Chains A and B, each alone.
Chain A
Amino acid sequence: MKLSSTSMVFSWPRLAALLIKEFIQMRRDRITFAMMLGVPLMQLVLFGYAINNDPRGLPAALVALSNDHYTRAMVTALETTDYYRFGHVVESAAEAERLMASGAVSFVVTIPSDFARRVDRGDNPQILIEADATDPAVASGAISTLSTVASEALLREQGRQQVADEEARSRLEVIVHRRYNPELISQFNIVPGLLGVILQLTMVMMTSIALTRETERGTMENLLAMPASPLEIMLGKVLPYLVVGAVQVVVVLAASKLLFSVPFVGSLLLLLSAILVFVLALVLLGYTISTIARTQMQALQLTVFFFLPSILLSGFMFPYRGMPGWAQLLGELLPLTHFLRVIRAVMLKGAGLQSIAPEIVWLVGFVVFFAAIALARFRRTLD
């Protein structure tokens, strides 16, 4: 390809003409412009604060059939885990059942009347915890802490701290290091992911209507009658949105630092380069859509068609490894999947280029693939 002003395929002045035009239109379209910058921030704040995979302070009901000091110790121990908030103390199992069925409480903790007696006798004391497991994620954290918390509390209450310590010494010790996010703060996982999701939605949506808008408004006929090449038209549509994407990235990264204190241990330059490739893939995907769709409505539908699997199968909402093989395979075909791995690895784990290289290769692959389809699909005529 010859890059000169007389070339048929590419010339800088022609690209400049298209870019300037696109930027002016973008600036004039106030609502869209506001959306490009306001929506990412709004979504980040909203979802960043709202989404929590490890919910605490869940409403619980206590069915305490006796009111001895062991029972009180158990309740205190459960409350100090932060998972349980006992708002209801009821007398009967039936009433507790009703509370659970209506959704008023997530847990029912039943401490039998002979609990104290059995503890004192050392006769296998039991407590029953019923969890509303309709949403498995809600129950799992609360349940997992239970057994150790309960038995330690009991030993302490019996004044057998010593025994407890000794027991602990002789017990098999499993050491768990919660690497990269020791406090299991959901935001550390969610916020970097949100950047990917926000980019996926806005970038694809904006560019997907780029060409169809020209077709719908009738300006396509004029544009095609003038000497702009398909490559120039594509770049003229795609580059402005790359700039918008860059602004969004800065906004979201700054906000994730300031609002959510998400750690950033890796190389910023590496992350920004990866984001550039990802956004390029997205705008090209959007542009490809706009060469297929005939109307802006169709373009939006196609965007959503790509968006849903992207948030559900990419590992943003649900753990990637939890999905069956075929779903993982589908996930591999989504740019967001690879981007999420990159951003989480670089931001939270400080991964270097070497460890994320395979993902970058995937993203570059998407760029080449979408660009090729878009150029092939582009109609030079109105047929």
Chain B
Amino acid sequence: MNAIDVTGLVKRFGEKTVVDQVSMQVGEGEIVGFLGPNGSGKTTTIRIMCGLLTPDEGEGRVLGFDLRTESLKIKREVGYMTQKFSFYEDLTIAENLEFVARLYGLFPVRTHVRRTLDDLGLTTRRNQLAGTLSGGWKQRLALAACIMHHPKLLLLDEPTAGVDPKARRDFWDEIHQLARGGLTVLVSTHYMDEAERCHRISYISYGRMLTTGTVNEVIRNAGLTTFVVAGARLNEVAAALEGRPGVEQVAPFGATLHVVGSDAEALRHSLAEFDGREGITVTPGETSLEDVFIQFMADAKDNMG
């Protein structure tokens, strides 16, 4: 049984269709990254899945429970971390965790809270008001709170926004460890390195699911060709390349330029005249996930007209 199995979800706010025929299957124990530009409908889709919004169209089951009729059952088994911090800022860290523990019936409350505080390394700050925590710590508290009741499915909406690299790595280590134990995770993110840590990624754009698959599949299916340009005075080269046939992205990466296009022939042809000029070298490069996403976004803009 899939942990998430939804088809044809549609959500409209007024005239605007924010989620448009979105289908998604996520197997048990899978970690799926949910990517897409700002305002593409990630949060809205996740809210539908945990019963916070009713879809205008579409059906689905989450953890085997019907999306429309069994949302209370879904809520018990799901850990949902909101994009915006939504615990009580006027409660202390410990009080927030106690609140969650009691709501999910985790007894004895003290033991659960103490363990969570220890794991977080927040034991010494347990009596600090949650509202006075720094942004990254708020995220970590929220994450700890939504894992506390051992959910079967985690829906994480940008859980690591503003979190430092060390904490982010700890977080992903923990996610993988939990997934090995059978936990399913759907996590939205804007970070490429996090996308690459997922078993699978889904990309949504303006409410439509554009692609889904492993990172390699997504890159391969995008059909992009990338060249790396190295040498001196790359600014001028970049300016000269802009708008040439086949050249769709020109992005500086350290001391090199990544030039990306979907028409390999045209791209190669455009680059040929620079190769060897004034000590400039052009070598074939690997297309990155970021290149693919930038391409998606550019295409989507074209669609929008």
Contact = CB atoms under 8 A, between A and B. Distances in A.
Interface stretch (B84-92, B164-172, B197-205, B288-296): B84-92
A217 B85 CA distance: 10
Interface stretch (A7-15, A50-58, A240-248, A284-292): A7-15
A92 interface: no
Contacts of B101: 17
B87 A219 contact: yes
Nearest to B76: A227
B102 A20 contact: yes
A166 interface: no
Contact of B72 (A17, A218, A227): A227
A100 B156 CA distance: 76
A383 B53 contact: yes
A2 to B, nearest CB: 14
Contacts of A221: 47, 52, 82, 84, 86
Given A13-B105, A21-B99, A382-B53, A225 B75 contact: yes
B88 A25 contact: yes
A219 B89 CA distance: 9
Nearest to B85: A218
The size class of the interface chain A forms with chain B is 20 to 34
A29 interface: yes
The size class of the interface chain B forms with chain A is 20 to 34
A29 B88 CA distance: 13
Contact of B103 (A25, A220, A228): A228
A60 to B, nearest CB: 58
A225 B84 contact: no
A18 B101 CA distance: 11
A16 B91 CA distance: 16
Contact of A14 (B47, B103, B107): B103
B113 interface: no
A381 B44 CA distance: 12
Contacts of B104: 226-227
A378 to B, nearest CB: 13
A24 B87 CA distance: 14
A8 B77 CA distance: 13
A24 to B, nearest CB: 6
A17 B54 contact: no
Q: Closest 10 CB pairs between A and B? A: A17-B102, A222-B86, A225-B80, A218-B86, A227-B76, A17-B103, A227-B75, A28-B90, A21-B99, A226-B103
Given A221-B82, A222-B86, 10 more contacts: A8-B72, A17-B102, A21-B88, A25-B88, A219-B88, A225-B50, A226-B75, A227-B72, A227-B76, A383-B53
Interface of A: 5, 8, 11, 13-14, 16-18, 20-21, 24-25, 28-29, 217-222, 224-229, 380-383
14 contacts: A8-B73, A13-B102, A24-B90, A25-B88, A29-B90, A218-B85, A219-B86, A219-B87, A221-B86, A222-B80, A222-B82, A225-B51, A227-B75, A381-B54
